[in-house]
Amino acid sequence: MPELPEVFTISQDLKKNIVGFEIRSIQFSSYYRVPDDIKKSLNKLIGKKILDVDRVAKNIVLKLSKDDYIIFHLAMTGRLLLRNCRDKNDNWVKLVLIICKGDEIKELRFCDMRQFGKVLVVNKENLNKIISKYGLSALEEKTSAEDLLYNLKSRRTNIKNALMDQKIISGLGNIYATEALFLSKINPKLPTRNFTLEMSTKLLNSIRQELKEAIKNRGATLPDKMYVDIFGKPGHQQDYFKIYLKKVCDVCGSKVEFEKINGRGTYFCPICQPLETTTSNRNKKIPDGQKKLL
DNA sequence: ATGTTTGTTCCGAT
DNA sequence: CATCGGAACAAACA
């Protein structure tokens, strides 16, 4: 599940709890198919100190001494759990960083049921290369509605699909893209080509509102309980979903539509988020006679 | 049993 | 050649 709010929560908690620790050893699970070169580069990090923890898009980045960085991407079902050595085993453990600070020893366990998650060791240069592949940062103040509009217009697809594209704007996944579209009353199937600055502004505000609320609530844990924070605790944003998993629209009471859009389950209210641009056209522009090429 | 599932990457089609 | 969309990746659950 980890989308930006979940990754943010994990990264923030790690920063408070493991900065200053040193990597003492690393354990790999026998079934975890990690490439040998990554295993090797991880093993070279033994003895190094964790200087900082950061988030880049949906990646968690541990900054180590001497220009080394560990990047975790949790994909769909990845977890990072901070445990004491005596704590009972966790499910689906891929690898464990055993870290210490003085006499204090802790384990950072990277678990992943579906094994889509990734771990990578890079230097600053390669980290920057990875960072540069991502699009706008939703939470950064300097990201403007004009920037978003420009990126959206560069693609020929629907808005839902565009929001999921990390090269356009990074951090959103299926849940928060769905929620932000509902908040801004935009139909997920609306072509990005039809966007106006007014819509982009509204959308960016909704994205920020949604992400900030979810961060405050420490992310969302779905009924499958896959996402938990580093202490194994669920988030609470699922209690504040406005459309995701809903049957009835909170706002107007009509039946929520569920449809696969680009392969991803999407919830939307056909009344609050009409596809026809009849509502909210306060612009004086004449609605463009769109060619409906079939 | 078949169809779902929070993400990303790759490949084929256009 | 660039872009888009779907399949694949793997495992558990209903």
Query: Would you write out chain A's pLDDT as a tens digit for each of its 294 residues?
Result: 699 999 999 999 999 999 999 999 999 987 777 788 889 999 999 999 999 999 999 999 999 998 999 999 999 999 999 999 999 999 999 999 999 999 999 999 999 998 889 999 999 999 999 999 999 999 999 999 999 999 999 999 999 999 999 999 999 999 999 999 999 999 999 999 999 999 999 999 999 999 999 999 999 999 999 999 999 999 999 999 999 999 999 999 999 999 999 999 999 999 999 987 544 444 433 333 333 322
Q: Where are the alpha helices (H) located in A19-144, listed in sequence order?
A: 36-43, 124-132
C-alpha–C-alpha distance, residues A155 and A39, integer Å: 38
Identify the burial level of A230 via C-beta atoms within 10 angstroms of its C-beta, where 0-12 means exposed, 13-18 middle and 19 or more buried. buried
Q: Are A99 and A105 in contact (CB under 8 A)?
A: yes
Give A262-272 pLDDT, tens digit per residue.
999 999 999 99
Beta-carbon contacts of residue A174 (< 8 Å; ≥ 6 apart): A3, A164, A264, A265, A266
C-alpha–C-alpha distance, residues A232 and A81, integer Å: 7
Would the Cβ of A36 be found within 7 angstroms of any atom in strand C?
Answer: no
C-alpha–C-alpha distance, residues A28 and A38, integer Å: 11
How many Å does it take to go from CA A116 to C1' C10? 8
How far, in whole angstroms, is CA A176 from its chain's centroid?
A: 9
Query: Per this entry, what is the length of chain A?
Result: 294
C-alpha–C-alpha distance, residues A172 and A228, integer Å: 18
Nearest nucleic acid nucleotide to A77, CA to C1' distance: B6
The token pair that represents A291 in the structure block: 């060619």
Beta-carbon contacts of residue A273 (< 8 Å; ≥ 6 apart): A181, A182, A185, A186, A187, A188
C-alpha–C-alpha distance, residues A40 and A73, integer Å: 19
Would the Cβ of A224 be found within 7 angstroms of any atom in strand C?
Answer: yes
Would the Cβ of A262 be found within 7 angstroms of any atom in strand C?
Answer: yes
**CA angle in degrees (0–180, nearest 5) for A92-A94-A96:** 115
**CA angle in degrees (0–180, nearest 5) for A35-A37-A43:** 105
At residue A72, the pLDDT reads 95
Packing angle of the helix pair A197-216, A4-18 (nearest 10 deg): 40
How many Å does it take to go from CA A202 to C1' B2? 40
For residue A272, which of A288, A294, A285, A257 has the smallest C-alpha distance?
A257
How many Å does it take to go from CA A223 to C1' B14? 40
Would the Cβ of A29 be found within 7 angstroms of any atom in strand C?
Answer: no
For residue A3, which of A181, A186, A235 has the smallest C-alpha distance?
A235
Dihedral sign for Cα atoms in the order A267, A269, A273, A274: positive
Q: What are phi and psi of A79, to 5 degrees?
A: -135, 145
Q: Where are the alpha helices (H) located in A217-246, listed in sequence order?
A: none
Helix H or strand E encompassing A215:
helix A197-216
What letter would DSSP give residue A287?
P
C-alpha–C-alpha distance, residues A61 and A196, integer Å: 35
Would the Cβ of A31 be found within 7 angstroms of any atom in strand C?
Answer: yes
